Structure formats: C-alpha cells, structure tokens
Structure 1
Amino acid sequence: MKLLMIDTSTIVATAAIVDQDRLIAETIVNYKKKHSEKMLPAIDHLLQDSGMKLSDIDAFGVVNGPGSFTGLRIGMATVKGFSQALDKPIVTVSTLESLAYNARIYPHYICPIIDAQRGQVYAALYRFEGNAGDQKLVSYLDEGVYDIESLMNDVQAKDESVLFLGDGLKKHGQQLSKISSKIQIMPSYFAMNRASSAAAAGYQKLLKGETVNCFQADLNYLRKSSAEEQMEKKQEKTNA
C-alpha cells in the first residue's frame, strides 16, 4: 500500500512515498521560496523519479499541525485536492509526533519543540516503548503551547536523558543545553521535519484504518492566530 506524505508545517517543505516499511523516495527543500511554489513541483519530481503516477498512490498523508498556519493550510489543501480527485483516504499526523519519529532509536525521552513565538513553543514529551520490532510512541506530556521556562521545569523533573529536536532549538537550544547534563540536543540536520518520519507514523495509522476523507480532514493549530485573538479582544470590548 503506497502512501504519499506531505509536510509543510514549518519552513521545510518535504514529501515522501513509502510502501509498508520501505521508503521509495523522499524530497526535502529547506531553502527560500514559498510552500505554494515548491510543494507541487517537488511532488511531481518525486513521482517521476519513482516511475509512478499520482493514481498509483493508495492513500495520502499530511502533517496537520501545530506549526505555520499558512504552511499547514497549503499542505492540507494539496492533500484534500488529491484525495477528492482520486477518491483516496487521508491520514493525518501531528508535527510533534512526526519529529519524534526522527529519533526512533533513542532509548529515553524525546521532546520535539517548534517555535510558537512570544517566548513559547509547541511541545510534547514522548518515548518509544516495547520491543525493537513492535515499538509504540508513548506520550508523557500532552501536546500544547508551553512557556520555555515551564517546559524546562518539566524536563528537569525527569530522571533520564531528554533529547530535544525541532526548529525551536534555533531560538532556545543554547538555553536548554545549559540547564542539565541530561539534556541532549539533536544536530540541526537531523532535527528538522522529514516526510519519511511522518510517513512512518502515518503508515501505522493507515494499517489500523485510522483514516478520514477529504471532508473530514482538519488542522490542529493548538492555538488561535494573533489576528483571531485580537478580533476576540475587540469583540469583548464591544460587548462590555
């Protein structure tokens, strides 16, 4: 069963095709341009290099948040278009869960962080548990928007090493590395979003039948945009 996975949740635009436990092809673009300009050409090259047509794909996957509001909408719109045109199912994967799959062989806690601005990060805490052939990703801190200080307090309370990865490291990595010898920082070239990692998570959901159609797929922003918050405040003042 072939799955085409798309991730436009951050500045990185990435897509991959997987078939069971085999990665067929992957593309990663982490340089300038807008997602609207790079994703469709990237998918086209991916299919050509794999000797496939879009109709050969059995299901479409998309990373549905948290992350860049604009990027997420582009990825979701792309996958919904494919799904509706070809009547194929969609599988959605959290950005944070996808990042955790970059570190699947890490034996301790994994903490993906994405810059959420305002001194905050989107974050969660996971670890892989079980035997090597049957590992499951277990959550130890729910996905949410965290002040970096409160997140560090949660991490310091753990009695094992914690591996950090994600684009939040660009702003907060140095601060995190100083708080404890238990903190491990993943190198940037391993810490960015990869569609193959999202596909590894998504394929498990696909096998379990955890799919939606093009009308049911939705985004997971975790919080409202600044514009929405400002509109709500104005409305509150108007109603006061």
Structure 2
Amino acid sequence: MYVLGIEAATPVAGVAVAADGCILAERLVNNRRTHSVNLLPMIKAVIEEAGISAGQIGAVAVSSGPGSFTGLRIGLTTAKTLAWLWQVPLVGVSTLEALALPLASQAQIICPILNARKNEVYAAVFRGNAGQPELLAGPLALGIEELVQLLQQWEGPVTFLGDAVPEYRQQLETCLGRRAVMAPRCAMLPRGGALAELGWRKMMSGGGVPPLQLAPEYIRLSEAEVKLAAKGGK
C-alpha cells in the first residue's frame, strides 16, 4: 500500500510517499512561505518521484497536532480534500510522535517540544522501544519549569528536538545539566517521511478513518476561542 504523508503543523512543510515500510520520495521546505503555497506542488512532485500515480495512493496520513493552528488547518484541509477525492482512508498522526520516530531506535528518553507561544511548549515524553516511540506522558501545553519537573521522574539523558529548542535550549541545559541532549539539526524538524511511515504502520494495524471524521489535536484553545469564551462569560 502506498501512503502519502503530509506535515504542516509547524513552519516546516513536509510530504512523502511510503510503501511497505520504505520511503520512496520525500520533500521538505523550511522557507517560511505559507503551506497553502508549498503543499500541493510538493505533493504532486513526490507522487511523480515515487514513480506512481495519484490513483495508487491507498491512504493519506497527516499531522493532526499539536502545532500551529493555521498550519494544522491547512494540512488537514489539504489531506481531507485529497482523501475524499481519491476515496481513501485518512490517518491522523501526532506531530510529536512523528518527531520522536527517527530517534526511537535506542531505549532513551525523547522529548519533542514545539513553540506554543505564551512562554509554553507543546511537549510529550517518549521512550525509544524497538524503533517505535513509546508514549510516557503528554501531549501537554506547559512551561519549561513544569516540563523539567515532569522529566524528573525518569533517569538518564533526555534528547530534545523540535522548533522550540533554539529558544529554550539554554534554560533546559541550565535546569537539567548534562541530562539535556540536543538532537542533531537534521533531526530537529518534523519530516513528511516520518508521517508517511507512521501512517503506513497504522494502516497495517487497521487504522484510518473516513476523511470527515478526523479532528485536529489542538491541546489548548486558540486565541480567538479564548476571547470568544471571555466575552461569553461576561
């Protein structure tokens, strides 16, 4: 089965095609252009580069959050439209799990963090387990001090990755000392290949839903929803 993976929950746009556990084609763009501009040309390109036609796609996997509200909406709308057009299942994949996947070959603590603004990060804690990220905690929206407290319950080094690392690296290293390990830059950003691989795995285990049934995992309310709730409470 061919699975198209779409990553748009962060400033990075990533797409890939996977089949039988192999990544056939992948593209990643971190040029700050909007995902509405980047995604469709990238999708067309990876399908062609994989040597298949759109009609051979058996499922679409998409990053379902947490992440940027705008990016999630664009990614999910694109994925839902394509899945409906091709009449194939849609698979939601955690942005944080997709980040953790490339580092999951060793039994280590992995902590992907995404910038949630307002001095918070979206985070989850995983342990590598036979190439599969094992979720230990999260996903959560919390401050760095809260995250450090959460991490105290596990021993050993913690590998951090994600777009919030540059902003909070110094604070993490100050609080955790040598326990804080930063992933290589090539592993810091979410990849369409990870989305496609996890989507393929989920499809093989009976995953996938009709396109209109998949909802985003925002973790917390958007700014507009907060303001609307505040007005309603007056």
Q: Normalising by the residue count of structure 1, what TM-score does the alignment of the two structures yield?
A: 0.93
Q: Tell me the CA shift for residue 136 of structure 1.
A: 3.7
In structure 2, what is the Cα distance between the partners aligned to 1:236 and 1:152?
34
Alignment of 1:200-211 (within 5 A): 200-211=197-208
Report the secondary structure of 2:28's partner residue.
strand
Could you tell me whether the CA contact under 8 Å between 2:122 and 2:139 is conserved in 1? yes
Any unmatched runs of 5+ in structure 1?
none
Q: Tell me the CA shift for residue 224 of structure 1.
A: 0.7
Alignment of 1:1-240 (within 5 A): 1-129=1-129, 132=130, 135-179=131-175, 180-237=177-234
Q: Tell me the CA shift for residue 49 of structure 1.
A: 1.9
Q: How many pairs are equivalent?
A: 233
Task: Spell out structure 1 runs of 4+ moving beyond 4 A.
Answer: none
Greater CA drift, 92-101 or 45-54:
45-54
Provide the alpha-carbon RMSD of the alignment: 1.2
Q: Tell me the CA shift for residue 105 of structure 1.
A: 2.1
Identity of aligned residues (%): 34
Q: Tell me the CA shift for residue 199 of structure 1.
A: 2.0
In structure 1, what is the Cα distance between the partners aligned to 2:151 and 2:178?
12
**Cα-to-partner distance string for 1:158-217 (whole Å, 9 max, x where unaligned):** 211110000010211121122221111112321101011122222221111111011111
In structure 1, what is the Cα distance between the partners aligned to 2:75 and 2:166?
23
Could you tell me whether the CA contact under 8 Å between 1:102 and 1:194 is conserved in 2? no
In structure 2, what is the Cα distance between the partners aligned to 1:126 and 1:172?
19
Could you tell me whether the CA contact under 8 Å between 1:205 and 1:211 is conserved in 2? yes
Any unmatched runs of 5+ in structure 2?
none
Could you tell me whether the CA contact under 8 Å between 2:109 and 2:125 is conserved in 1? yes
In structure 2, what is the Cα distance between the partners aligned to 1:154 and 1:220?
21
In structure 1, what is the Cα distance between the partners aligned to 2:107 and 2:174?
22
In structure 1, what is the Cα distance between the partners aligned to 2:216 and 2:97?
14
Could you tell me whether the CA contact under 8 Å between 1:102 and 1:191 is conserved in 2? no
Q: Tell me the CA shift for residue 123 of structure 1.
A: 0.4
